[in-house]
Amino acid sequence: MKFAKRMEQFGEGVFSRLAEMRKKRRAEGKEVIDLSIGAPNIPPSERVMKVMADEVMKPENYVYAISDTSALLEAVAKWYKRRYDVEIDPATEVASLLGSQDGLAHIAMTILDKGDVMLVPDPCYPIFADGPRLAGAELYYMPQKKENDYVIQLKDIPEDVAKKAKFMLVSYPNNPTAAMAPRSFYDELIAFAKKYDIIVLHDNAYSELVFDGKTWGSFLSVPGAKDVGVEFNSLSKTYGLAGARIGFCIGNKEVVAQLKTLKSNMDYGMFLPIQKAAIEAITGDQSSVETTRKAYERRRDVLCDGLIAAGWEMDKPPGTMFVWAPIPKEYTESEKFVADLLDKTGVLVTPGSAFGPSGEGYVRMALVQDEADMQRAVEAVKASGLFA
């Protein structure tokens, strides 16, 4: 059998290797406290689940959806007005996604041809780079450095690279670094994109997971944003609908139209009961959003305060569901540290090397276990002697 050459760029993924490590340890009868994959364990509110359950029982909902219902598109427009004070045309400025990960792969195919230049953050969530790779793009990594609070320095992008670039992706609050960019960054970003005729995608999956009394907005609320790009938003973390795969591409109507055209040739739309659940989530009672945010903030405090007290130097993240922490100085490879940490503590985290060249030297921990499990992870690390 002969397969596509594009598959040669995808070796065994780091999450597959982590899964094998987890499986092996559990087969030995040992405990694993899994903080590796960002899989939320907070379910949707009961009212959202009830809507989903009721709609699943209706035979008429088993037809092809074909496209987004007008009710869903109008609900998204109302959501963006209420939450971010952004005016959205539901007919031309919204397209649903079967999760942001699906969208990140598909939107690259609508913008990039083989050899085009894509600007991606470094470190970054893997699909940010993998989607453009599938489209045949050449990647230019924009460093997110600790000395700059992990905010991309647009002025450091060489002019010859900027002139060649066709598409760029930014994401704040950021996965994996948990950084938040100042408003001034977005003004610079829009000016940069206009100067070099670059389409911008802003991933805003963590806008509700912001801690310590702070709030976050939308890229589209900045004047000129719709002229240069779109924003992805997701119901996975905010509303606990991760497995239902619901996301949206919102903003520039030309970009949205291209994505809709591609999707119309590749899928038959989102299952109607999921569309109904999404409408309920974003238009109904919003108290669950604050409940979820507080849960993640408490988990952050238990984990970070405990690990810092145990001698692990790290910054407490201002938002997201992740902690980005440096590995001990005696280690040169994050994967080696991850293996030792699992062996000595039963705590499984993700090596920073999985997130791009600048990720080496760090690990990412996901706040996806309850507070009691976080405390057990802290006690295990304290007892290990790794940070003595």
> Quick check: do 5-43+288-384 and 46-283 share a fold?
no
Confidence label for 187 from pLDDT (cuts 50, 70 and 90):
very high
Q: What does the pLDDT read at residue 253?
A: 98
**pLDDT reading at 267 higher than 90:** no
Which residue has better confidence, 388 or 329? 329
Sign for the CA dihedral angle at 381, 311, 180, 132 comes to negative
Give the model confidence (pLDDT) of 204-248 as tens digits. Answer: 999 999 999 999 999 999 999 999 999 999 999 999 999 999 999
CB 120 within 8 A of CB 143: no
Confidence label for 268 from pLDDT (cuts 50, 70 and 90):
confident
Proportion of the chain above pLDDT 90, given as a percent: 87
Give the model confidence (pLDDT) of 107-145 as tens digits. Answer: 999 999 999 999 999 999 888 888 899 899 999 999 999
- In what helix (H) or strand (E) does residue 94 lie, and over which residues does it extend? strand 94-97
Q: What does the pLDDT read at residue 59?
A: 98
Lowest mean pLDDT among 49-63, 218-232, 263-277, 292-306: 263-277
Q: Which two tokens stand for residue 196?
A: 């070099």
* Pairing, β 33-34 against β 347-348: parallel
**pLDDT reading at 34 higher than 70:** yes
CB 137 within 8 A of CB 112: yes
Proportion of the chain above pLDDT 70, given as a percent: 99
Name the 3-class secondary structure at 157: coil
**169 Cβ neighbours under 8 A, 6+ residues apart:** 104, 118, 119, 120, 121, 124, 128, 200, 201, 202, 203
Would you give the DSSP letter of residue 95?
E
Q: For tokens 């108290």, what's the residue?
A: 287
Domain ranges of the chain: 5-43+288-384, 46-283
Return the CA Rg of the chain: 21
**pLDDT reading at 291 higher than 80:** yes
Confidence label for 12 from pLDDT (cuts 50, 70 and 90):
low
Which CATH superfamily, name and number, covers 5-43+288-384?
Aspartate Aminotransferase, domain 1 (3.90.1150.10)
Report the interhelical angle of 100-111 vs 126-134 (nearest 10°): 40
- How far is residue 314's CA from residue 310's CA, in Å, rounded to a whole number? 11
Class of domain 46-283: alpha beta
Give the model confidence (pLDDT) of 336-373 as tens digits. Answer: 999 999 999 999 999 999 999 999 999 999 999 999 99
CB 317 within 8 A of CB 324: yes
- How far is residue 198's CA from residue 191's CA, in Å, rounded to a whole number? 10
